[in-house]
């Protein structure tokens, strides 16, 4: 008993795993789910069609029996009238008994025929409903798969806009931008260095000019003093 329970639990566990796997596959591949549903409905339609054919065949058989019994009753009714007209009471009694039996049989067959017609109509309605559901599923499959493809296309575009598919290009462009900025900075640095060197040379030049000017002024002052001394000597 314990082994049977264990095998039963393992079987249920395996069925559960298979069911989850199938559900996961169908979720990722909706076309498979729709095909499975449509195929199941087609199988149901085929079985129902066979059962409906059997019901219709039974209805037709009952209708044939009713028709035969009605013809027989009509003949018996004629025979009874003839027996009564010819005053054959013994024959009329036999025919009357047969008439009663045929009427009873006919009443039962008419009840069966009414039920057979109702069963056939219900089966045909079910068959029509299943066929309509199959057509509906096929149309829904085409419509929903088209929506899925459209959604996947939009998601792909969104991923691209989010940079999921253009990261390499953006990074390459960033590298180019950084390189350009570095080159511009190098150019600015060279300019600044050149300007700084010119400033130093200009300052040195101005300093040299100031020394020369002071020396000239000193020489002029010395010459003036010498002239003054010489003039003083002459006046004595």
Q: Residue 34 is encoded by which pair of tokens?
A: 């729709």
Q: Residue 112 is encoded by which pair of tokens?
A: 């069966």
The pLDDT of residue 157 is: 78
pLDDT, tens digit (0-9, with 9 covering 90-100), for 31-73: 888 888 899 999 999 999 999 999 999 999 999 999 999 999 9
For 149-155, what is the mean pLDDT? 83
Residue 150 has pLDDT above 90, yes or no: no
Q: Specify the DSSP class assigned to residue 163.
A: T
**Fold for the domain defined by 2-165:** Helix Hairpins (1.10.287)
CA distances (Å), origin 87, targets 23, 84, 96, 128, 207: 84, 5, 14, 59, 172
- Measure the CA–CA gap between 59 and 55, rounded to whole angstroms: 6
Sign of torsion over alpha carbons 77, 78, 81, 83: negative
Q: Residue 218 is encoded by which pair of tokens?
A: 């000193």
Residue 195 has pLDDT above 70, yes or no: no
CB atoms within 10 A of CB 52: 19
- The reply to whether the predicted model has a pTM over 0.85 is no
What does the mean pLDDT of the chain come to? 79
Q: Residue 116 is encoded by which pair of tokens?
A: 């057979």
CA atoms within 13 Å, Cβ hemisphere of 115: 7
Q: Residue 8 is encoded by which pair of tokens?
A: 């039963």
| Sequence ranges of the domains in the chain | 2-165, 171-236
Best-predicted range by mean pLDDT among 88-92, 145-149, 173-177? 88-92
């Amino acid at each position: 008993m314990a082994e049977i329970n264990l095998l039963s639990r393992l079987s249920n566990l395996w069925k559960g795993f298979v069911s989850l796997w199938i559900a996961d596959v169908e979720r990722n591949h909706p076309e498979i789910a729709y095909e499975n549903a449509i195929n199941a409905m087609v199988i149901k339609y085929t079985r129902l069609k066979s059962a409906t054919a059997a019901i219709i065949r039974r209805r037709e058989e009952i209708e044939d029996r009713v028709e035969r019994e009605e013809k027989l009753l009509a003949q018996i009714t004629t025979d009874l009238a003839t027996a009564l007209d010819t005053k054959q009471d013994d024959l009329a009694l036999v025919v009357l008994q047969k008439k009663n039996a045929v009427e009873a049989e006919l009443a039962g067959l008419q009840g069966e025929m009414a039920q057979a017609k109702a069963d056939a109509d219900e089966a045909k309605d079910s068959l029509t409903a299943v066929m309509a559901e199959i057509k509906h599923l096929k149309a829904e499959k085409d419509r929903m798969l088209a929506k899925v493809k459209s959604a996947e296309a939009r998601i792909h575009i969104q991923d691209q806009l989010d940079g999921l598919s253009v990261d390499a290009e953006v990074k390459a462009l960033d590298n180019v931008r950084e390189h350009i900025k570095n080159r511009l900075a190098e150019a600015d640095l060279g300019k600044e260095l050149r300007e700084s060197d010119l400033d130093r040379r200009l300052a040195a030049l101005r300093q040299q000019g100031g020394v020369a000017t002071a020396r000239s002024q000193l020489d002029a002052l010395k010459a003036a003093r010498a002239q003054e001394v010489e003039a003083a000597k002459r006046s004595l």
